[in-house]
Amino acid sequence: MLSNVGFLSLFFGLISSFVVFLYSVLNIKKNSLNLEKKIYKFLTLQFFFVVISFFILSYSFFISDFSNATVYNNSHSTKPLFYKITGLWGNHEGSLLLWLLVLTSFILFFFFNSKNEIKNFRLYTVIFHQIIVIGFFIFVLKTSNPFDTLFPIPPEGLGLNPILQDPALAIHPPILYVGYVGTSIIFASALAAMVTGYVNSIWAKNLKKWVLISWTFLTGGILLGSIWAYYELGWGGFWFWDPVENISLMPWLSLTALLHCISTLEKRDLLKSWSIILCIVTFMLSITGTFLVRSGILNSVHTFANDPSRGIYILSFLFILIFMSFVIFFIFESKNLENKKQIFFLSKETSVLINNWFMIYFLSVVLIGTVYPIFLDVITSEKISVGPPFYNKLLIPFLVPFFLFMSVGPSMNWIKTNLKFKVSYIYYFLLTSIATGITVYFLSQKNLLTIILIFSLFFLIIKTLPNFLKNNTNNSQNLSHLGFAMLMLSILFNSVTSTEIIKNIKVGDSFISKNEKITFKKVRTEEEKNYSSIIGIFEIKNNNNEIIKLNPAIRIYNQPVVATSEAAIKTTLFKDRFITINLIKDEQLFNVRYQNKPFMIWIWISTLIIIFGGTFAIFSKKKNYP
C-alpha cells in the first residue's frame, strides 16, 4: 500500500512537471500575472509530491518493509536505525529519488527568489530546468522505480554494503548532490540568458550565488568522501584517483573556473561566451558522472552496478541536452555574446583567464585519465587502470606557475595594472626563502621540483596573509586561497614524509618502524547488533618511552556476511599513526599495516577553511569574488 502511494506520488509529480512546462511556454507571450502564480503553485505541488515519495521510502526503511524491493535489497532488520534511514540513498533507486528532491527544491527556490529578474528570463529558466526534471522523473519511474514490490514478502532483507554503513558516508551523498544538482540551475539559467539576451553583469551577479552554493557543497561532499576513504577503506590515503573520486573533482574544477569567470563578467562585462560554455560544461560533467556511476561500466568501490539499460537512458538524455545546448549556443552566440572591450595584459581579467586555462588543463587531464580506460576496454577489450604516476607527471609541473599566478593575480587591478616594483615583494621573497630553507632542512629534501613547489606555496601563503589587514579586501577570496595553499602544502608534506611498513606477525610479536617499536599485545572479541569484531591491541613505544595504544579491528557483518578492516588512528597536530589488521586464512598470523601520516589533520582543516571561504561569500553582502 505504501509503495503504491509513493509511486503514484512520483507519477503526479511528473504530471505537475508537464503542467509547469506548458504554463511557462504559454506565459512567455502573455502578460498575465495569474499564469505566473499558477507556475509557482504547480512548482510547489511538484516539490510536494516528491517529498511525499521521499518520506514514504524513508518510512519503509524505518519499519523494514521488505515488501518494497529497494528496502529488501538494501536493508536488514538488525541494521542500526541511523543506517536504516540513511540507507535510503545508499543505493541506485533511492539516490535518484534524492536527486529529484534536490532538483525540484532548487527550481522552486529559484522561482521564488528571482522576482526582480526579467519575466522571460525566469520563464525560460523554468522551461529548460523542467526538461531536466521531466527527464529524471521518467528515468526514475521507467527504469529505477524505488517502489517496486515483492510477493510473497521476504522475512528478512539482504542488508547494506558494510563499508557504506558509516556516519561520514551517510551524510556525504546529500551534500554532494546539492553540489551536483545545483549546476542544473546554472545550466538552465545560462541557456535562458542566451535566449533572452540577458547575459550581462546583472545576470552574472545573480548567478554567482548559485555557483557559490554548488561549489561550496561540492567541496564539502568531496571532503566527507575523502575522510571516509581514509579511515574506512584501510588504505591509509585520502585520494586514490579512483574514477568516482575523479568524477566529483571534474565539475569542481569547472565550477572553480566559472566562479572566477562569472566575477569578471560581473565587473567588466567580459568573457560572456566563455561563461556560458563553462555553465554548460559544468552541468554536463555532473550528468556524465551520473551516467558513469550508474551504468556499471566503472570499476570502483563507489559505483552502483546495475542494468546497462539505465546507463543507455542517461547517455541518450545527455546527448539530447548537449545537442540542445549547442544549438542554442550557436544560434544566439553572435547575437547576444559579442565582446568589444579590450583586455590588457597586466590586469585582473588576464589573471582570471590564465586561472581558467590552468583549470581547464587540469580538468582535461583528469577527464582523459578517467575516460580513456573505458574507451580502450570498449574498443580493444583491454583493461587498464590509470593511477597516480599518470596524474603526477601531467599535473605537478604545472602547479608551480599556477600557484605563482594565484599569488599575484588578486593584487592586480581591473582594466589595467601599472607595472611598478613594490618594496614589499622583497620582504615576501625573503620570508618565503627563509621558510622554504628551514622546511627543506628539516625534511632533508633534495628533490628540486619539491623544493620549488614548497617555495611557490609558501609565497602564496605569505602573499595572501597581509590581504586580511587591508581595507575593502575580499576576505572570502583570501580564506579560500589561503585554505587552498595550506591544502596543497599539507598534501606535499604528507606525500614526501609518510612511511609505511607491512608485516605478517602473531600475537606477542613486535617490529620496528623508524624510532618506534610496535607490539601486538593481544586480541579480544566483541559482539554488536549487526556485526562481531576481532580487535587487536597494539602498543607503540617511541624513543621517549611514550606509549600509545591503538585498537584496529576486523568486523564480520551478519547481513550480508562480509568482513571489513577497521583502521585505528591516533591523530595529533603533526601526524597520524594509522594501523590496520587482516587475518590470514588457515594460519595464526595477522597481516599488519602500520603507517605514519604527517600533517593529515591539516588536509581536513585546510579544506574546511576553503568551505568557510565559500560560505562566507554566499552570506556576505559584498560578493566580489575573486
Work out the pLDDT band at 378, boundaries 50, 70, 90: low
Cβ neighbours of 64 (radius 10 Å): 17
Domain assignment present for residue 125? The answer is no
pLDDT at 420: 61
* Higher per-residue confidence, 429 vs 586: 429
Q: What's the rounded Cα separation, in Å, for the pair 95 and 294?
A: 10
pLDDT at 433: 94
Residue type, 220: G
Domain assignment present for residue 470? The answer is no
Mean pLDDT of all residues in 573-593: 86
Q: What's the rounded Cα separation, in Å, for the pair 314 and 99?
A: 14
Domain assignment present for residue 539? The answer is yes
pLDDT at 290: 72
Domain assignment present for residue 366? The answer is no
- % of the chain with per-residue pLDDT over 90: 46
- Please check the confidence at residue 189 and state whether its pLDDT lies above 70: yes
Helix (H) or strand (E) holding 459: helix 448-464
Mean pLDDT of all residues in 220-236: 84
Q: Write the CA distances from 607 to 220, 224, 484, 574, 613, integer angstroms.
A: 8, 10, 7, 17, 10
Mean pLDDT of all residues in 373-397: 82
DSSP helix/strand/coil, 102: helix
The residues, ordered by sequence, that sit 6+ positions from 210 with a Cβ below 8 Å of its Cβ are 110, 182, 185, 186, 189
pLDDT at 383: 75
> 482 with 461: CB under 8 angstroms?
yes
Domain assignment present for residue 521? The answer is yes
The residues pairing with 578 across neighbouring beta strands, listed in sequence order, are: 569, 595
Work out the pLDDT band at 379, boundaries 50, 70, 90: confident
Work out the pLDDT band at 306, boundaries 50, 70, 90: low
Q: What's the rounded Cα separation, in Å, for the pair 351 and 513?
A: 47
Cβ neighbours of 560 (radius 10 Å): 12
pLDDT at 305: 45
pLDDT at 289: 77
What is the residue-wise DSSP string for 509-543?
-EEEETTEEEEEEEEEEEE-SSEEEEEEEEEEE-T
> 609 with 483: CB under 8 angstroms?
yes
The residues, ordered by sequence, that sit 6+ positions from 48 with a Cβ below 8 Å of its Cβ are none
DSSP helix/strand/coil, 590: strand
* Higher per-residue confidence, 300 vs 21: 21
- Please check the confidence at residue 3 and state whether its pLDDT lies above 90: no
Domain assignment present for residue 528? The answer is yes
Mean pLDDT of all residues in 188-194: 94
Please choose, from the candidates 120, 80, 101, 144, the residue with its C-alpha nearest in 3D space to the C-alpha of residue 307: 144
Cβ neighbours of 28 (radius 10 Å): 14
Q: What's the rounded Cα separation, in Å, for the pair 150 and 415?
A: 66
What is the rounded average pLDDT for all residues in the chain? 86
pLDDT at 298: 56
The residues pairing with 564 across neighbouring beta strands, listed in sequence order, are: 555
Residue type, 174: P
The residues pairing with 500 across neighbouring beta strands, listed in sequence order, are: 595
Q: Write the CA distances from 263 to 270, 299, 389, integer angstroms.
A: 9, 38, 35
Please choose, from the candidates 200, 383, 180, 390, the residue with its C-alpha nearest in 3D space to the C-alpha of residue 286: 180
pLDDT at 564: 84
Work out the pLDDT band at 122, boundaries 50, 70, 90: very high
Span of 3-7, 73-77, 161-165, 571-575 with lowest mean pLDDT = 161-165
DSSP helix/strand/coil, 592: strand
Mean pLDDT of all residues in 402-411: 86
Domain assignment present for residue 349? The answer is no
pLDDT at 301: 47
Domain assignment present for residue 541? The answer is yes
DSSP helix/strand/coil, 200: coil
Q: Domain range for residue 563?
A: 500-601
What cell does 413 get? 587591478
**Residue 421 burial by CB count (10 A; 0-12/13-18/19+): exposed, middle or buried?**
exposed
What is the residue-wise DSSP string for 296-330?
S-S-STT-----HHHHHHHHHHHHHHHHHHHHHHH
pLDDT at 323: 92
pLDDT at 367: 92
Work out the pLDDT band at 537, boundaries 50, 70, 90: very high
pLDDT at 103: 94
DSSP conformational letter for 482? H
pLDDT in tens, 411-422: 777 766 666 656
What cell does 260 get? 572566477
Cβ neighbours of 220 (radius 10 Å): 22
Q: What's the rounded Cα separation, in Å, for the pair 496 and 443?
A: 8
- The strand order across the sheet containing 568-571 reads 499-505, 590-598, 575-583, 568-571
What cell does 193 get? 540568458
Please choose, from the candidates 352, 610, 355, 370, the residue with its C-alpha nearest in 3D space to the C-alpha of residue 490: 610
pLDDT at 450: 93
Our count of domains for the chain comes to 1
> 617 with 623: CB under 8 angstroms?
yes
The model's pTM is 0.91
DSSP conformational letter for 78? T
pLDDT at 381: 72
What cell does 582 get? 587482516
- Please check the confidence at residue 349 and state whether its pLDDT lies above 90: no
What cell does 557 get? 557483518
Q: What's the rounded Cα separation, in Å, for the pair 452 and 500?
A: 26
Q: What's the rounded Cα separation, in Å, for the pair 344 and 418?
A: 11
Please choose, from the candidates 249, 132, 241, the residue with its C-alpha nearest in 3D space to the C-alpha of residue 187: 132
